[in-house]
Structure 1
Amino acid sequence: MNVALITEMATQLVMYLAYICLLVVLFRNFISLMQLLIASYVFATRVKPSAISMDLWQRYGDLALPVSVIVPAFNEELSIVQSVRSILALEYPEHEVIVVNDGSDDRTIQELIDGFDCVPSDREQIAVLQHTKILGVYQSRKHPNLVVIDKENGRKADASNAGIGFARTPLVCVIDADSIIETDGLLRATEPFMYDTGKVVAVGGAIRIANGCEIRGGSLRKIGISKDWLPRFQIVEYLRAFLTARVANAEANSLMLISGAFGIFRRSVLLEIGGYEHDTVAEDLELIVRIHRHMREQKREYKIGFVPEIVCWTEAPTTWAGLRNQRARWQQGALETLIRHRRMILNPRYGRIGMFSMFQVVVEDVIGPPAELIGYLVIPAALWLGVMDPTMAILFLCVTVLFGTGLSIGTLALEELQLKRTPSALDLVRVGLAAFVENFGYRQANLAFRLSGIGRHFRKDTSWAAVPREGFNADN
């Protein structure tokens, strides 16, 4: 094969790759635009929460189903006491808190015992879903509705399953130990169950970044914006994810993810499917996909809802290493879930979930990241080789930077019009600026982190990549 032929083939390959990357990016941004439009419609037509609705809760609180709040904890000594205090203080007629210490090698269990005056308990586990040994069960003498479970390490899914097994209520709420629930967050998140006829099986709530907020005694005292750029970039991401994508998907009853930071489930459904899977690093995504699969194979009517009001605040990674570990794990887990449930993809048996939602996950989490990252390399090469019209290169720039920024600004405007939770006009400008600056370095780094997650999957690396935490304090 002569050099000229090889050069021509390489040139053609660069051209085809460039146009494929452009098409993938266009498709992803089109989906994002549709989600923003649907979310805007939902916000414009819904009944907004008011003081009157809270009065109804106080008058008819006996209609609220009891909830067990399950808190898996591993090496959370910095914030566990404050987090549990905030959960105990929630405005809710009847809820118990089950903290599961997942074999921590720091002072997590001792902080719980000392902080809440816990003593050994003979409470028995109703259903055994976890794979590891229970080492001890404790009851707080200060708070009768607080139970602490000490167990061998088995990671978050195993700890969540242990808590589900000890729960005795119709609903269970699983949250991260480094999260702070708003005082009325549990009330708002369980409202879909209150007005339901039995179809609602799970509900997610909006999550926001706690970095920069003032948190005292386990409660959010003042909303703030972090001084650091890395948490600000994540604020933009969370706004896009929770105020557009999940609101739109929930409206179409095709929500594919309830964040592991906060979710409420019918305990009976979790028991039916055997709880969380143990051999995945994205147990929250896999659980929701499996619920969809289970309910559709059983041909049962169901609904997975979403509450757009903020119900939970979580600490975001503050270092690039922590962000890399988190995003690589998310990507690896998405790939694991897609492979595990691959028979659902484009399968009419699973309705819109199989024909559209699963395919969307494939584009978003498998094809999209490498396509966009490759696009940053091959499109300049295609221009240099003269095989791509400069207009196409400008289009790629527009859809990745300008159009992407516009979607983020639109989401920020939606948040300000509907929720008004950004503290000041200056903070709005800061977040808006982050929506633009993220396109120059942060976005590309995220794509690289996700590619590393794909690599971890094919290397069969199932080790848990930790995300360092600073803990909640008044100055974070």
Structure 2
Amino acid sequence: MIPWLDLSDTWVHDLVRTVLIWTAWPTLLYFLAINAIYLVLVLLGFVDTRRSAARRSVLDLHETATAPVSLGLTIVMPAYNEAALIAETVRSSLALDYPDHELVVVNDGSKDDTLEVLRSTFDLVPSSRRLDPGPNITLRSEVRGIYEARDRSIPLLVVDTANGGRSNAVNTGIGLAAKDLVVLVDADSVMDPDALLLAAQPFLDDPLRVVATGGNIRAVNGSRVVSGRVTEEGMPRSWLARFQVVEYLRAFSLGRAGWSRLGTLMLISGAFGVYRRDVLLSVGALDPDTIGEDFELTLKIHRWCRRRRRDYRMVYVSDPTCWTEVPDTRAVLKRQRVRWHRGLWEVLWAYRGMLLNPRYGRIGLVGLPYYWIFELFAPLFEVLGMFVIVAALLTGAVSPVMTLALLGVALGCGILVTVLSVLLEEASGRRRSTTRHLLLMISCSLLENLGYRQLTALWRLQGWWQALRGGEAVWGEMTRTGFSSEAAR
């Protein structure tokens, strides 16, 4: 009870009570609904990963890696101020198991020594490769030079451009790609040796229909990386990064696998996606005016295929893993989450014509409604829920027992889904955690509800507000610490 405000036996008390009850129940039902959906997706994702694991057990990847497969592959890697990681990342990408692949690194006007590191490490010389982005892609920055390794056996191209943003850098790389498939990866990432073979497998199995695949994204923080390979999985030392390990597991490892199982894959992460180059050129590749460019590209391909009545598939492949460095400071994480939610709003609004439109099948009738209701509005309901709980406890307008019971149900469902995600991931056999690391992940499932999720909800609302105000979209920098050769204990 607030000491300076006596609400007992007054119309104000009744009003506050009514408002709290009418807001509390919809908020509770919202959280129950979203966690029920998460639960279904997680279970579907587990079924998908188990089937993928069974199929992988009979695949002879060594035979595929040495066979002259029909689809060559170009890795496009935009780089901005990545001097701390770029040499190891490039070596890792060049050493991946795939019979015909090349790497195109686009230095997007870096202010650090990214280009110099590449030049000295790989002995770069001018290349005769010509840039051909096609009629549907407009490049927005000057290409200052195209280089290749002096040793022609190293399939590496490095493009130096004026700073034009990540999307423009990726589009430049696509314009230089010489292979049938294009892989988009970040310069702060390393992939498992067989990642390309596994990510490209759906194209080999169903070459006429598959237009894009997405792979698994996991946090590399705390893991041991030697010569561009994750040799030992670990957990980060900071709790901020640990919470993100659990988030990525819930969203990528099982969540997107569930969507793919339903034939409604809505997002292929810009950190690891494989596309047919001819499709990228046809749709205009990435939109440099959209900050949520990976989400926009996925929807753009869906729309392009649906409008042409093309029989197509977009597939999430749970086995190939790309390891990426996640933010370990609050300032960098805030910029990331603000950017993500701003991009979500901009893309959903730009493609609002697909919402509930039968022409776009499951994408318009299932996927987009989910993203509008349970992704875009999620932080609003989380903040509203916090306000309702605090107001109820302070005013005494609602029984504290009832208030805490509602809170327990809402948080309990979320914790249950997250813990189940962790356990199912372990059961799938794709993660090899120690007992200590497993207990840490379960602890994160509990502790992330005590401040972390609420803080990220506020940041996401900030991104939404920036989009509504129409302020300038800023990508922001992420400070890199480099890959560690020692795993966290």
Q: Is the 8 A contact 1:86 1:217 kept in 2?
A: yes
Separation (CA, whole Å) in 1 of partners of 2:154 and 2:237: 40
| CA deviation string 1:383-416 (max 9, x = no partner) | 6556657676345323432221211111111111
The unaligned stretches of length 5 or more in structure 2 are 1-6
Other-structure match for 2:477: 466
Which residue, out of 265, 268, 287, partners 2:278?
A: 268
Following superposition, the deviation at residue 379 of structure 1 comes to: 3.0
Other-structure match for 1:71: 77
Cα RMSD (Å): 2.0
Q: Is the 8 A contact 1:64 1:93 kept in 2?
A: no
Separation (CA, whole Å) in 1 of partners of 2:86 and 2:62: 32
| CA deviation string 1:117-159 (max 9, x = no partner) | 0011121012253221111100111344100001111111110
Identity in percent: 38
Q: Is the 8 A contact 1:189 1:311 kept in 2?
A: no
Following superposition, the deviation at residue 458 of structure 1 comes to: 2.1
The unaligned stretches of length 5 or more in structure 1 are none
The aligned amino acid for 2:475 is W
Q: Is the 8 A contact 1:15 1:382 kept in 2?
A: no
Other-structure match for 1:456: 466
Separation (CA, whole Å) in 2 of partners of 1:154 and 1:463: 12
* Mapped pair 1:97 → 2:97: no
* Mapped pair 1:277 → 2:283: no
Q: Is the 8 A contact 2:222 2:237 kept in 1?
A: yes
Tell which deviates more after alignment, 157-166 or 379-388.
379-388
| CA deviation string 1:98-118 (max 9, x = no partner) | 000011111111111111100
* Mapped pair 1:36 → 2:42: yes
Tell which deviates more after alignment, 389-398 or 234-243.
389-398
Following superposition, the deviation at residue 244 of structure 1 comes to: 2.0
| CA deviation string 1:63-110 (max 9, x = no partner) | 251000000000001000100000000010000100000111111111
Helix, strand or coil for the counterpart of 1:311? strand
Tell which deviates more after alignment, 170-179 or 370-379.
370-379
Following superposition, the deviation at residue 310 of structure 1 comes to: 4.1
* Mapped pair 1:54 → 2:61: yes
Other-structure match for 2:443: 433
Following superposition, the deviation at residue 9 of structure 1 comes to: 5.2
Following superposition, the deviation at residue 252 of structure 1 comes to: 1.2
Other-structure match for 2:225: 215
Separation (CA, whole Å) in 2 of partners of 1:457 and 1:323: 18
Q: How does 1:238-277 map to 2 (within 5 A)?
A: 238-277=248-287
Helix, strand or coil for the counterpart of 1:204? strand
| CA deviation string 1:327-369 (max 9, x = no partner) | 1110000000001001111111211111110011112222111
| CA deviation string 1:253-306 (max 9, x = no partner) | 111111111100001111111010011111111110111111111111111001
TM-score when normalising by structure 2:
0.92
Tell which deviates more after alignment, 118-127 or 69-78.
118-127
| CA deviation string 1:176-198 (max 9, x = no partner) | 00000111111111011111141
Q: How does 1:191-230 map to 2 (within 5 A)?
A: 191-230=201-240
Q: Is the 8 A contact 1:335 1:365 kept in 2?
A: no
Separation (CA, whole Å) in 2 of partners of 1:391 and 1:361: 33
Separation (CA, whole Å) in 1 of partners of 2:50 and 2:113: 48
Helix, strand or coil for the counterpart of 1:83? helix
Other-structure match for 2:166: 156
Measured at CA, do residues 19 and 385 of structure 1 come closer, stay the same or move farther in structure 2, by a change above 3 Å? farther
Separation (CA, whole Å) in 2 of partners of 1:90 and 1:64: 17
Measured at CA, do residues 6 and 344 of structure 1 come closer, stay the same or move farther in structure 2, by a change above 3 Å? farther
Measured at CA, do residues 48 and 230 of structure 1 come closer, stay the same or move farther in structure 2, by a change above 3 Å? farther
Separation (CA, whole Å) in 1 of partners of 2:177 and 2:403: 56
Following superposition, the deviation at residue 216 of structure 1 comes to: 2.2
Other-structure match for 1:140: 149
Separation (CA, whole Å) in 2 of partners of 1:58 and 1:365: 39
TM-score when normalising by structure 1:
0.94
Q: Is the 8 A contact 1:282 1:334 kept in 2?
A: yes
